[in-house]
């Protein structure tokens, strides 16, 4: 045995194969379905989604579906991450609030595209794992906190963008209050079976709402969401 250590691979074993799967995911699931923002496409070409799921699910990480991440929660389908991120219209200068960190995958995509990301997750074990994954990948512009995200993150407000990745019965009031003037929020609004992706803008203090595609998310559980 020569004692030569193998080079450390920060993207994990199989990195090259996963990179090809990622490229295919972007072409087949995002570009072909009309995601056009080049910054969003590049970010999703870059972030190693397979490292945000447990090892046994890694080979399915680039499939066209959500996957379980424990605690009855899921990592969102790649297309859903793409469309929500595109709807946020990020330029790189924004301070973003995310509610529902989950695996931290969407958080990483936001971290690639914004100045700073504050993310709130109500389940401590998920928050801890997401924090560890994001740290291992070298993200330094992300803060993950365990709390009921329907209250937002008052100490860090206002936010230029807010993304909620759990289904809400309505637009939680504290989140609109913490949205900066000219800011945008994207969230699924509806019942617990299905929702509509909703874009909320704050224009001269007033709420302007437009709707996009239908979607299915796990419940937003909290004071301004659903009861647990």
Residues noted as catalytic: 76
Interface with ligand SAH in residues 114-173 (CB under 6 A): 120-123, 126, 148-150, 165-166
Tokens of 127: 């928050």
User: In this chain, which residue has its C-beta nearest to ligand SAH?
Assistant: 102
Taking the complex as a whole, the smallest distance from the CB of residue 134 to ligand SAH amounts, in Å, to: 12
Interface with ligand SAH in residues 182-201 (CB under 6 A): none
DSSP 191-212: -SS-EEEEEEEEETTEEEEEEE
Q: How would you classify the pairing of strands 159-164 and 95-99?
A: parallel
Candidate list 29, 76, 195, 198; residue touching ligand SAH; CB under 6 A: 76
Q: How far apart are CA 157 and CA 175, in angstroms?
A: 9
Residues 132, 71, 226, 178: what is their CA dihedral angle, to the nearest 10 degrees? Answer: 0
Tokens of 170: 């309505």
Taking the complex as a whole, the smallest distance from the CB of residue 13 to ligand SAH amounts, in Å, to: 22
Q: How far apart are CA 221 and CA 150, in angstroms?
A: 8
Enumerate the β-bridge partners of residue 203.
206
Residue with Cβ nearer ligand SAH (107 or 202): 107
Stretch that binds ligand SAH, among 16-24, 55-63, 95-103, 180-188 (CB under 6 A): 95-103
Q: Is 104 left (phi over 0), alpha (psi -120 to 50) or beta?
A: left
Residue with Cβ nearer ligand SAH (99 or 200): 99
Stretch that binds ligand SAH, among 3-11, 12-20, 33-41, 96-104 (CB under 6 A): 96-104
Taking the complex as a whole, the smallest distance from the CB of residue 43 to ligand SAH amounts, in Å, to: 14
Taking the complex as a whole, the smallest distance from the CB of residue 211 to ligand SAH amounts, in Å, to: 20
Candidate list 106, 133, 178, 195; residue touching ligand SAH; CB under 6 A: 106
Tokens of 189: 């609004």
Candidate list 105, 139, 153, 159; residue touching ligand SAH; CB under 6 A: 105
Enumerate the β-bridge partners of residue 215.
195
The answer to whether 142 and 167 are in contact (CB under 8 A) is no
Residues lying near ligand SAH in the complex (CB under 6 A) are found at 69, 73-76, 99-100, 102-103, 105-106, 120-123, 126, 148-150, 165-166, 218, 220-222, 225
């Amino acid at each position: 045995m020569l004692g030569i250590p193998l080079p450390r691979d920060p993207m994990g074993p199989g990195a090259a194969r996963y990179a090809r799967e990622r490229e295919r995911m972007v072409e087949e699931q995002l570009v072909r379905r009309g995601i056009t923002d080049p910054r969003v496409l590049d970010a999703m070409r870059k972030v190693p989604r397979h490292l945000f799921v447990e090892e046994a699910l890694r080979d399915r990480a680039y499939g066209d579906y959500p996957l379980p991440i424990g605690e009855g929660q899921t990592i969102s389908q790649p297309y859903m991450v793409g469309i929500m991120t595109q709807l946020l219209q990020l330029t790189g200068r924004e301070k973003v609030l995310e509610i529902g960190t989950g695996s931290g995958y969407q958080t990483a995509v936001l971290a690639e595209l914004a100045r700073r990301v504050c993310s709130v997750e109500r389940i401590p074990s998920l928050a801890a794992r997401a924090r560890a994954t994001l740290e291992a990948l070298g993200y330094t512009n992300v803060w993950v906190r365990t709390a009921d995200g329907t209250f937002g993150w008052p100490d860090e407000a206002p936010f230029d963008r807010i993304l909620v990745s759990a289904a809400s019965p309505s637009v939680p009031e504290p989140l609109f209050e913490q949205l900066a003037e000219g800011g945008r929020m994207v969230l699924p609004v509806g019942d617990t079976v299905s929702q509509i992706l909703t874009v909320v803008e704050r224009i001269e203090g007033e709420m302007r709402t437009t709707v996009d595609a239908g979607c299915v998310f796990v419940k937003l559980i909290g004071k301004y969401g659903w009861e647990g």
